[in-house]
Structures are given as structure tokens and as C-alpha cells.
Amino acid sequence: MSVNKSRQRLIKWVRRYPLIALSLLAIAYLLGGFSEKDDGLISQQLITTTLYLFVAAVPLGFIIAFVVVGRLGDLENVANKQKESDLNYQDAFDLPSQVMHGYKLAMVTGLTPTLTGLTGDTYLSDAQAICKANSEHIPPVAQCECGFYAYKELADAQFELSINPGAFLLDVDLFGLGFTYKNGYRAESQVVNQLITPKRCMRCRVLPAKVFVKSFKLGYEDTTWWQWQIRCVVCSSSFKPADKLTVEQMSHHLAVKIN
């Protein structure tokens, strides 16, 4: 199992922990572990010891597991960096070529909707990467971080989406010179094939998502921005018509197919 898969599995278990703890409490209660008289099916002593162990030992286990997984991830990164610096650039035609199809996350921000990476960089649906750190760079440069990134696997992008609920899933093709890194690619140019919207409203998460709305977000250091979400009929009803876009209108603004 890769380091990334272990990390994802670990986070899933951390999310389940409160539910498991509550279930244990309920079972303990039903078995009479909290009754005044010690005549339940199991002794109060046993229940309290088990609960103490669960409350103290399990989070400690999670912390240790995170430290181990983090350390393994660092080692993997170092190994990848070393592999990258082994690349021979003398002849770009020697680089292995492959179709770099992938998935990534983006927010839609701005008065006029614009694709925005999670790091805050905006881009068009068909774009060349620009390096902010060094204007001499034609991204991607091995020692730098520039270039367009994408995950190889849909599952990796979907997992990231579950921890970035304000973002949308993009289906992309990367072109030009590219590197394989950790779980995906970093490349020179990018074409966004499709924006995949969630089936349900991004606010109530119950009713079907129907219409894009923009709301005002307060950022750090007096910065403010508009962020777009797709919502249901109810959660979008208080918005003025000027703050709403249909799926077709959004698709036209972004020049990207939606769903």
C-alpha cells in the first residue's frame, strides 16, 4: 500500500472515530454499564476501563500513525527528488512520452467566474503554466515547483475533494514537457476537459444541485473575493438574479464543459 493510500485510510478512520465512540457508549449503556446497581450484564469496572482505554489509547494511536505516515511520505519525496535530478535534459526527445490525463481540484472565484487553483493562482481552460518564482523558467523545471499539477487517479482527487468541500473536480489533459511526481503529473500546459459538479447542493448537501451562486468571502489581510458554489433551488432562493448563473452560462464563462 502506498504512503498516500495509508494516509487516506488513516483520515477515514479518524472521521469514523466519534461514531464508533458514540456506538460504544450506547452499547455500554444498553448492557447496563451505567446503572447504579452493579447488576448489568457486564461490570461497571470493565466498562469504565474500556472507555478510558478507548478515549486515551486510540487518539494516541492515531497521532503515532500520522507521525509514521508523515515520515514515510518525506522519505518518498526525497527519493522522488533524487530521481528527478537524475533526468537528462540534454535531449528532450529522450524523455518518455505518455498521455498525461488526470484530475485536479479548482475553485471558481471572481465577479466574472474564473478557475482558481487551491493555491490561489487563476488560469484559463486552455493555458500555459507560468513560473512566479523565476521569470526565466519555462515550466516545469525539475528543481522548482512550477507547472500545472494533476492527479493520475480519480480516487486521489476525490479524496482531496472530500477535505476541500468548496472546490470542484476537473478532468484535465496535460501537454508538453511533464514530470511524474508523487501521485500525478506536473507539466507545461493544460486543457480542462470538464468540470464535474457535485450531484447535491454544496450548502445543504441534500437537494439536487441546480444553479451557480456567488457569495462574498472575507480573506486574510483585508482581501475579499467572490466564490461560486452550485446549490439547490432552496439554498439559492435568497440570491439576486445578478448573483446567479445557470449551468450553461457557467460553462460558457469558463469555456469548459460542465458534467
Site of interaction with Zn ion (CB under 5 A): 131, 133-134, 137, 141, 144, 146, 201, 203-204, 207, 232, 235
Asked if 10 and 65 touch (Cβ cutoff 8 Å), the reply is yes
Q: Which is nearer to Zn ion, 108 or 256 (CB)?
A: 108
Q: How far is the CB of 208 from Zn ion (least distance, A)?
A: 9
What is the rounded CA–CA span in Å between residue 185 and residue 205?
Answer: 31
CA angle 12, 80, 88 (to 5 degrees): 150
Q: How far is the CB of 168 from Zn ion (least distance, A)?
A: 16
- Indicate the DSSP class of residue 205: S
Q: How far is the CB of 252 from Zn ion (least distance, A)?
A: 24
Q: At what angle do helices 3-30 and 44-85 cross, to 10 degrees?
A: 170
Q: Which is nearer to Zn ion, 106 or 146 (CB)?
A: 146
Q: Which is nearer to Zn ion, 211 or 232 (CB)?
A: 232
Burial class of residue 136 in the structure, from the number of CB atoms within 10 Å of its CB (0-12 exposed, 13-18 middle, 19+ buried):
exposed
Q: How far is the CB of 69 from Zn ion (least distance, A)?
A: 29
Q: Which is nearer to Zn ion, 7 or 203 (CB)?
A: 203
One-letter amino acid at 189 equals S
Q: How far is the CB of 141 from Zn ion (least distance, A)?
A: 5
Q: How far is the CB of 251 from Zn ion (least distance, A)?
A: 21
Q: Which is nearer to Zn ion, 6 or 227 (CB)?
A: 227
* C-alpha pair distances (Å), 240 with each of 111, 202, 220, 243: 14, 18, 26, 5
Q: Which is nearer to Zn ion, 156 or 188 (CB)?
A: 188
- Indicate the DSSP class of residue 251: H
Residue given cell 462574498 in the structure block = 216
Query: Which grid coordinates belong to 184?
Result: 500525478
